[in-house]
Amino acid sequence: QSALTQPASVSGSPGQSITISCTGTSGDFVPHNYVCWFQQHPGRAPKLILFDVNNRPSGISNRFSGSKSGNTASLTISGLQAEDEADYYCSSYTTRFTYVFGTGTRVTVL
Amino acid sequence: QVQLVQSGAELKKPGASVKVSCKASGYTFTDYSLQWVRQAPGLSLEWLGWINPDGGGTQYSQNLRGRITITMDTSARTAYMELSRLRSEDTAVYYCAREATRGLDLDHWGQGTLVTVSS
């Protein structure tokens, strides 16, 4: 199973919105909604910020939202803040209870 | 509170095996699957496999099948990930994480265990 494809980097100014894509091969995201997004700050363990495409765990800001269309899932961060500067990874269920992560995106707040 | 505490860093030679432990506390151990993920230096996350403590069912990444074994000791509330025939490319931080429901919604993570493979 190959990793899902994400842009290597995305940047934005404080207050702006940015979107990170996560692209798989045909069928990677169909017919399930088991797409998650994780945030990772340097030297720290990843942190779950979205599950089931667009659901936020308790305590996660509503500035984070997700969507899925065809073979692409997306994470949107609105009202970008300095603390959002981190690496972001998508993940998806594949087949037979196995999973795959994305290649990761470095978000820079200008 | 939920905690996952992993064993300490390991230095192994190529061809050797390593066994990383993950001790859970703060919740009913058999109610949640435990997943294993690794991250090589400067690289992305890689899914390795999971174990369901309620029955012991497992599943592994095709990329590691044959070299990885995930086990558990329910009485000790501990899961183990063993990787054999180590190569330099296996150098990474290995994480265990609790799956909240399904679909890799990993809501609590261990602190990570650095495994270095070097001659």
Q: What is the pLDDT of residue A1?
A: 72
| Separation in Å, CA of A109 to nearest CA in chain B | 20
What are the pLDDT digits (tens) for A19-38?
Answer: 999 999 866 776 788 999 99
Q: Pull the structure tokens for residue B50.
A: 């999971």
Instruction: Show pLDDT as tens, one digit a residue, over chain B (119 residues).
Output: 999 999 999 999 999 999 999 999 999 999 999 999 999 999 999 999 999 988 889 999 999 979 999 999 999 999 999 999 999 999 999 999 999 988 899 999 999 999 999 99
B44 touches chain A (CB under 8 A): yes
* Contact yes or no for A91 and B47 at CB 8 A: yes
Cα gap B119→B112, rounded to integer Å: 23
pLDDT in tens, A42-94: 999 999 999 999 999 999 999 999 999 988 999 999 999 999 999 999 999 98
Chain A contacts to B (CB-CB under 8 A): 1, 3, 32-36, 38, 40, 45-48, 51-52, 57, 89, 91-93, 96-104
Return the pLDDT at A30.
67
* Option in A47, A57, A93 nearest B103 (CB): A93
- From the CB of residue B64, how many other CB atoms can be counted at a distance below 10 Å? 18
**Residue whose entry in the numeric block shows the structure tokens 């803040």:** A81
State yes or no: pLDDT of A105 exceeds 70.
yes
Residue carrying the six token digits 């999973």: A99
Tell me, what's the pLDDT at B110? 98
| Res A2: pLDDT | 85
CA distance A46 to B25: 19
What was the pLDDT predicted at A20?
A: 98
Helices (H) and strands (E) in chain A, counts: 0, 9
Residue A100: is it exposed, middle or buried by C-beta count within 10 angstroms (0-12/13-18/19+)? buried
Q: Return the pLDDT at A25.
A: 81
Across chain A, which distance is largest between two alpha carbons, in Å?
Answer: 42
B66 shares contact with chain A (CB less than 8 Å): no
**B2 phi/psi in degrees, rounded to 5:** -70, 130
Mutation pick from A98, A100, A103 vs chain B, by most beta carbons of B within 10 Å, is A98
Q: Residue A32 burial by CB count (10 A; 0-12/13-18/19+): exposed, middle or buried? A: middle
Note the pLDDT of residue A95.
83
Contacts of A31 (CB under 8 A, 6+ apart): none
Two structure tokens written together for B68: 């990885």
